[in-house]
Amino acid sequence: MNRYDSLPEAVTDLFGDEAAAERAYDLLTVDVPVTDWLDALRTARDELGCTYFDWLSAVDEPGTGFRVCAHVVAVGDGAPRRLLLRTTVPHDAPSLPTAIGVYAGAAWHERETHEMFGVVFEGHPNLTPLLLPENFEGHPLRKDFVLAARVAKAWPGAKEPGESHDGGPKRRQMLPPGVPDPNEWGPLKGQLPPAPERPARGAAADRPRRTRTTTEGSATQPTTEPPARRTRSASDGSATQPPPESPATPDAGAA
CA distance 71 to 21: 14
114 three-state secondary structure: helix
Tell me the three state secondary structure of residue 20.
Answer: strand
Please state, in angstroms and rounded to a whole number, the distance separating the CA atoms of residues 48 and 203: 62
H helices present in 74-232, as ranges = 107-117, 149-152
68-116 pLDDT, tens per residue? Answer: 999 999 998 788 999 999 999 999 999 999 999 999 999 999 999 999 9
Q: Nearest to residue 152, comparing CAs of 110, 189, 187? A: 187
Between 25 and 224, where is the model more confident? 25
Three-point CA angle 232, 237, 239, nearest 5°: 60
- State residue 255's pLDDT score: 44
CA distance linking residue 99 with residue 38, whole number of Å = 7
Instruction: Summarize the confidence of residues 150-168 as an average pLDDT.
Output: 56
Q: Read off the pLDDT of residues 123-155 as tens digits, 9 standing for 90 and up.
A: 999 999 889 988 888 999 999 888 776 666 665
Q: How far is CA 81 from CA 21, 43, 100, in A?
A: 15, 14, 22
Among the listed residues 91, 73, 108, 82, the one whose alpha carbon sits nearest the alpha carbon of residue 23: 82
How far apart, in Å, are the Cα atoms of 29 and each of 18, 84, 155, 204?
14, 5, 38, 49
- Residue 78 is predicted with a pLDDT of 81
Alpha-carbon span 98 to 34, nearest angstrom = 11
> pLDDT averaged over the chain?
78
Q: Is the pLDDT of residue 159 over 80?
A: no
The set of residues, in sequence order, having a beta carbon less than 8 Å from that of 86 and lying 6+ positions away, is: 29, 30, 31, 32, 67, 68, 69, 70
Please give the pLDDT value at position 184.
Answer: 74
pLDDT recorded at residue 51:
95
Q: What pLDDT is stored for residue 183 in this prediction?
A: 72
Three-state SS at 29: strand
The DSSP code sequence of 44-60 is HHHTS---EEEEEEEEE
Q: What global pTM score does this model have?
A: 0.61
Q: Which residues contact 97 (CB under 8 A, 6 or more apart)?
A: 37, 38, 121, 122, 123
Domains observed in the chain: 11-149 (3.30.460.80)
Please tell me the predicted confidence (pLDDT) of residue 160: 54
For residue 239, the tally of other CB atoms under 10 A from its CB is 9
Residue type at 249 in one-letter notation: T
